[in-house]
Amino acid sequence: MNSRALEFWVGLFVLIGFASLLFLALKVGNLGVGGATTEYTVTALFNNIGGLKVRAPVRSAGVTVGRVTAVDFDTKGYQAKVTLNIDSTYQFPKDTSASILTTGVLGENYVGLEAGGDDAMLVSGDQITITQSAVVLEQVIGRFLYDKAQSPGGK
């Protein structure tokens, strides 16, 4: 094998390696590469979103069915407005509820969907009205300590 052919094959191998690393980095970072999927967009209002961020997963029964695409503040109702893109292969009833949950004690926040029983399905532009805000660990501990301090004898 002459040196030109060897250089070509080594260069090709290095390029494939870099492309593979780029693909894995995008997958790990939840930046999505690959096949385009059709999605529909719904919104939900929460009193407290905790540490929920854009690109956080939307899960139902432990399966990722979409992503959070925007987190805004609703100045009329003074609530957090979360926009969700859900893969169109997953259809949810209109009375679906949304909760902000955490993976583990200190894990990432995600939106959990629990399907309702309505016959009509959510369509793009709908709003999920049944929501449960994030449980903030500091608030739970603060309430517990406050209640303990207020009880007779501190017990």
pLDDT at 1: 64
| Lookup: tokens for 77 | 């109702």
pTM, whole model, 2 decimals?
0.69
pLDDT digits (tens, 9 = 90+) for 53-85: 999 999 999 999 999 999 999 999 999 999 999
- How many Å apart are CA 23 and CA 62, to the nearest integer? 24
| Lookup: tokens for 37 | 């999927």
pLDDT at 79: 94
pLDDT digits (tens, 9 = 90+) for 104-138: 767 788 999 999 999 999 999 999 999 988 877 66
Q: Give yes or no for a contact between 98 and 124, defined as CB atoms under 8 angstroms apart.
A: no
Chain centroid, CA 19 distance in Å = 27
pLDDT at 63: 92
Of the ranges 28-37, 48-57, 58-67, 90-99, which one carries the lowest mean pLDDT score? 28-37
For 151, half-sphere exposure in the C-beta direction (CA atoms, 13 angstrom radius) is 8
